[in-house]
Amino acid sequence: MAVAPDDAAERAAEGLAIVCAHVEEIRADLRSGSRGDDAPLERVLATARAGEDIAGPLDALHLALRADGDALGLNGYDEGGTRAIQAAGITVTDPGEVVYLCPDGRCVRYWWPAGGTPVPRCTISGDALRRDRL
């Protein structure tokens, strides 16, 4: 069964958001793995920076994480930045009305303001995430 183009684009945007939000954690996980190599992550970043289709490199990154014993692959990186399991109905953030989004609208990454924490930057463009209101 083929994936519809809109579904594929949405999956790619969601995958890129995970990569952008957890790039250093993913890099550390790959480097500490059996291969000791973060090349799959670097391919995703280079492809995204070039403005090319990232579906293939994202799939390869997901498979590389899984091959190293991480059953969830990219899907295991939660919004809090840890790989911990949270109980249903318990949230670690209070979203309020302001949210920060991907500056180019290329992915579905979001960030809720957290005290004096500086606004994160896009891993692809280097720009600060774009402020928006719910």
* Side chain identity at residue 77, one-letter code: Y
Residue 107 maps to a domain? no
Residue 21 maps to a domain? yes
**Is the CB of residue 121 less than 8 Å from the CB of residue 129?**
yes
Residue 121 maps to a domain? no
Predicted TM-score (pTM) of the model is: 0.64
Residue 44 maps to a domain? yes
Residue 88 maps to a domain? no
Token readout for 31 is 């480097």
Strand order in the sheet with 98-101: 110-111, 98-101, 130-133
Residue 35 maps to a domain? yes
**Is the CB of residue 43 less than 8 Å from the CB of residue 37?**
no
Q: State which residues form the domain around 53.
A: 5-76
Closest listed residue to residue 26, CA positions, set 79, 85, 74: 74
Q: Residue 117 and residue 115: Cα distance in Å, rounded?
A: 6
Q: Residue 40 and residue 108: Cα distance in Å, rounded?
A: 21
Domain count, the chain: 1
pLDDT in tens, the chain (134 residues): 455 667 888 889 999 999 999 999 999 989 887 788 899 999 999 999 999 999 999 999 998 888 877 878 888 886 544 454 455 554 544 444 778 899 988 899 998 887 778 999 999 999 999 988 77
List Cα–Cα distances, 38 to 16, 27, 59, 108, 129, in angstroms: 16, 6, 14, 23, 25
Residue 86 maps to a domain? no
Residue 55 maps to a domain? yes
Token readout for 40 is 């799959």
